[in-house]
Amino acid sequence: MAALDPDLLLRAYSVGVFPMASTRDAADVFWVEPKKRGVLPLDGFHLSRSLAKTLRSDRFTVTVDTAFGEVVAFCAEATARRPDTWINPDIEVAYAELHRRGYAHSVEAWLDGELVGGLYGVRLGGAFFGESMFSRARDASKVALAYLVARLRVGGFQLLDCQFLTEHLASMGTIEVGRDAYVALLDKALGLGSVAAGALPSGPADFFAIDFGAAPDDVAATVSGPTSGCRIVQLLGQTS
């Protein structure tokens, strides 16, 4: 079987399609375009009081792109709640190459030096396509997602695609939209309009803006210093 081509993978994301494998050991992948899409509005993240407290405590150390391969591997592991996954070795290899090229990123949550949670996804233009997350400690994946949303807001992103709506994601503000609405959001995030044939989208969104103290105008007066849990709470705003 031919390897999953990273360039084809990027093209697929630009038109709203992504790959999955039927099982962890599957020899091939299939392409998915859901009729209903999970989307987390970047201004609609639900930050509960308990999660805000966890963030402020800085109990977890949160990093970006320091353990991409490990995050993908943990996401691909079978668990009691998820006896099989859709991430096969071919997908792991393809996303590792996207990471090497700067298109795929991970957010990692560490506890006492151990990787206990995280997520990974693909960045294209002003869109971030969340692929999978894992948690080995309470709130670890929630903390990683909170850091991701804050990072995308500061960086000027317009779309956080969560693929499918789950109870866990819904509790954090994810909504479900139809295909036409999703395509409109995607086109806007990739550069206002359809992607030109033969060209990948690009835009002003900056995944690393938060690392240099940048902030949107509406929070610039209250946010400063290194990225910390308190800063993330300020960026997201607390709701009950």
Provide the domain count of the chain: 1
The DSSP secondary structure of 155-166, one letter per residue, reads TT--EEEEES--
**Within-domain flag for 172:** yes
Tokens of 8: 């084809």
Q: What is the pLDDT along the chain (240 residues), one digit of tens a residue?
A: 457 899 999 999 999 999 999 888 888 899 999 999 999 999 999 999 999 999 999 999 999 999 999 999 999 987 767 667 889 999 999 999 999 999 999 999 999 999 999 999 999 999 999 999 999 999 999 999 999 999 999 999 999 999 999 999 999 999 999 999 999 999 999 984 444 444 555 457 999 999 876 544 444 333 333 478 999 999 998 443
**Within-domain flag for 1:** no
Tokens of 154: 């500061």
**Within-domain flag for 88:** yes
Q: What is the C-alpha separation between 9 and 6, in angstroms, rounded?
A: 5
- DSSP 8-state secondary structure symbol assigned to residue 226: S
By residue range, what is the domain housing residue 187?
6-236
Q: What is the C-alpha separation between 154 and 156, in angstroms, rounded?
A: 6
**Within-domain flag for 126:** yes
Within its chain, how far is the Cα of 30 from the centroid?
21
Burial class (CB in 10 A: 0-12, 13-18, 19+), 172: buried
Q: What is the CATH number of the domain that holds 198?
A: 3.40.630.70
**Within-domain flag for 156:** yes
Tally helices (H) and strands (E) across the chain.
Answer: 8, 9
Q: What is the C-alpha separation between 29 and 14, in angstroms, rounded?
A: 18
**Within-domain flag for 26:** yes
What is the pTM (predicted TM-score) of this model?
0.87
